[in-house]
Amino acid sequence: MKVALIGPPQSGKSTLFAAVAEAGGSHVDLSRGDQPHLAVVKVPDERLVWLSEQFKPKKTTFAELQFLDLPGFDLSSEAGRNHAKTHWAAMRQSDMLVFVVRSFASDQVAAYRDRVEPRSDVDELRAEMLFADLDQVTNRIEKLEASLKKPAPPAKRDESLREMELMKRLQTALEQEQPLSQAVTSEAEAKLLRSFAFLSLKPALVVLNCGEEELGQAGPDELQHLPCIRLSARIEEEIAQLPPAERPEFMADLGIADSARDRLIRACYEHLKLVSFLTVGEDECRAWTIPAGTDAVTAAHEIHSDIARGFIRAETVAYDDYRAAGDMKGAKAAGKVRLEGKTYLVQDGDIINFRFAI
Ligand SMILES: Nc1nc2c(ncn2[C@@H]2O[C@H](COP(=O)(O)OP(=O)(O)O)[C@@H](O)[C@H]2O)c(=O)[nH]1
Ligand SMILES: [Mg+2]
């Protein structure tokens, strides 16, 4: 799963990207500011940390997300617009978009369009995305119209007519400046539209890159109907560069309760509708990523196809119950360990031991 950081030039995308990537131990080279950068990031998970302390396994494996840092989009000129478009394929191939917009004041950093207006920055980018989607929808409608004029088997014709109806509805929504995420209502429709990779259909959130002095103040949880996280990219980057042991003191000095980096990664994970189930043991403690609503046998397949094929039962305990009981023995004694079948819908934080035979 890939998350793209997008926004106007100089909004703090690369600074945030470095903070997100470096805290996990990756080294990032940002020397080519006009190039996209990609990093694999561990999804912070306190449950896995605690379980690892109990089991002391040889290996602890966190869930992962990919982050993509794209060059800034300067939409104020024709040349800038055209340049931005060269990066749109990368956006389409991403699963989620994070709008990074500037809210910090600085004499040193030139402000995009000579203004610090995060709301307008989000609006401008959003409008451009709606345009791109509208283009695609209009093209598709023209193609469908052409194909409907030709003879075709009735089933094929019905399918085209249904798609036409849907595309017309999307067209109306986009013309009214409504993102497709609001216009597409069912999972079936979303599936049908997947191959178009519409930009305004992707999960999105806003990062408001604040000045240090703003951090203590209350801010909006939403910006232009998108969930909003406030942070200072620069401070997150400073935190990331410290050895982990020194981070809490530095953060306490600044009055920051938790790392915004962790909050951001977890928020992305949640907006992608991903959940983790956990496996434990002396060899490895691990968080496995599955889409919310995955059944037990599909989750088993995530580990190994043999486990899915020979599935007998999923021995399952919720993390909170396990933690309250202290260990597996305690959890069993408290009646918290369940034997679930293939169709059980795995919950976030389930600790699972799959029983299987092949
Ligand atoms: N004062 C301040 N400057 C920042 C902050 N975040 C980024 N900058 C500066 O803004 C400039 C552009 O940042 P960069 O991350 O390269 O922006 P990008 O173009 O969006 O990738 C750099 O000089 C950063 O040091 C911040 O939170 N506060
Ligand atoms: Mg950059």
pLDDT digits (tens, 9 = 90+) for 198-234: 999 999 999 999 998 888 777 888 888 899 999 999 9
Mean pLDDT of 80-95: 93
Which two structure tokens, joined as six digits, stand for 264? Answer: 């951001």
**Strand order across the beta sheet in which 204-209 lies:** 37-42, 64-69, 2-6, 96-102, 204-209, 226-231, 222-223
Residues with Cβ within 8 Å of residue 50, at least 6 apart in sequence:
323
Residue 240 structure tokens: 């990331």
Q: What is the mean pLDDT of the chain?
A: 93
Residue 196 confidence class, pLDDT cut points 50, 70, 90: very high
pLDDT at position 25 is: 66
CB 104 near ligand 1, within 6 Å: yes
**Ligand 1 binding pocket includes 176 (Cβ within 6 Å):** no
Protein residue whose Cα sits closest to atom 26 of ligand 1: 234
Q: Residue 311 sits in which domain range?
A: 293-356
pLDDT at 332 over 90: yes
What is the distance between the alpha carbons of residues 112 and 74, in angstroms, rounded to a whole number? Answer: 8
DSSP 117: -
pLDDT above 70 covers a percentage of the chain that reads: 99
Query: What's the total number of domains in the chain?
Result: 1
> Is residue 132 one of the residues assigned to a domain?
no
Return the CATH number at 336: 3.10.20.30
Q: What is the mean pLDDT of residues 112-126?
A: 95
When pLDDT is cut at 50, 70 and 90, the band that residue 142 belongs to is very high
Residue 276 near ligand 1, beta carbon < 6 Å: no
Of residues 274 and 254, the one with the higher pLDDT is: 274
What is the average per-residue pLDDT within 74-81?
93
> 113 lies in a domain?
no
In a domain, 316, yes or no: yes
Residue 302 lies in a domain: yes
Distance 224 CA to ligand 1 centre (A): 23
103 contacts 116 by C-beta, under 8 angstroms:
yes
Query: Which of 16-30, 45-59, 199-213, 325-339 comes out lowest in average pLDDT?
Result: 16-30
Dihedral of CA atoms 30, 206, 346, 316 in degrees, nearest 10, equals 70
336, part of any domain: yes
Question: Which span out of 41-45, 233-237, 340-344 was modeled with the highest average pLDDT?
Answer: 340-344
CA distance to 4, 70, 117, 263, 273, per residue, from 224 (Å): 19, 22, 13, 20, 21
Give 77 Cα–ligand 2 centroid separation in angstroms.
18
Contact assessment for residue 261 and residue 19, using Cβ atoms and an 8 Å cutoff: yes
Q: Which residue has the higher pLDDT, 154 or 27?
A: 154
pLDDT digits (tens, 9 = 90+) for 8-44: 999 999 999 999 988 666 777 777 767 899 999 999 9
Nearest residue (CA) to ligand 1, atom 1: 106
Inside any domain, residue 322:
yes
Identify which has the larger pLDDT, 351 or 216: 351
CB atoms under 10 Å from CB of 139, counted, come to: 11
Give pLDDT, residue 14. 93
Q: Which pLDDT band holds residue 93 (cuts at 50, 70, 90)? A: very high
Q: Is 71 in the pocket of ligand 1 (CB under 6 A)?
A: no
Q: Which of 10, 11, 30, 241 to mutate to test the pocket of ligand 1 (most atoms within 8 A of CB)?
A: 10
- For the beta carbon of residue 179, count every other beta carbon within 10 angstroms: 22
Is 330 inside any structural domain?
yes
264-281 pLDDT, tens per residue?
A: 999 999 999 999 999 999
Q: Residue 326 falls within a domain, yes or no?
A: yes
Evaluate whether 86 touches 74 at the Cβ level (below 8 Å): no
Total number of residues shown for the chain: 358
Residues paired with 311 in a beta bridge = 356
Q: What is the pLDDT of residue 24?
A: 66
Tell me which of 246-255, 283-292, 300-309 is least confident: 246-255
Q: How many CA atoms lie within 13 A of 253 on its CB side?
A: 7
Residues above pLDDT 90, as percent of the chain: 84
The DSSP secondary structure of 175-198, one letter per residue, reads: HTT--HHHH--SHHHHHHHGGG--
pTM over 0.75: yes
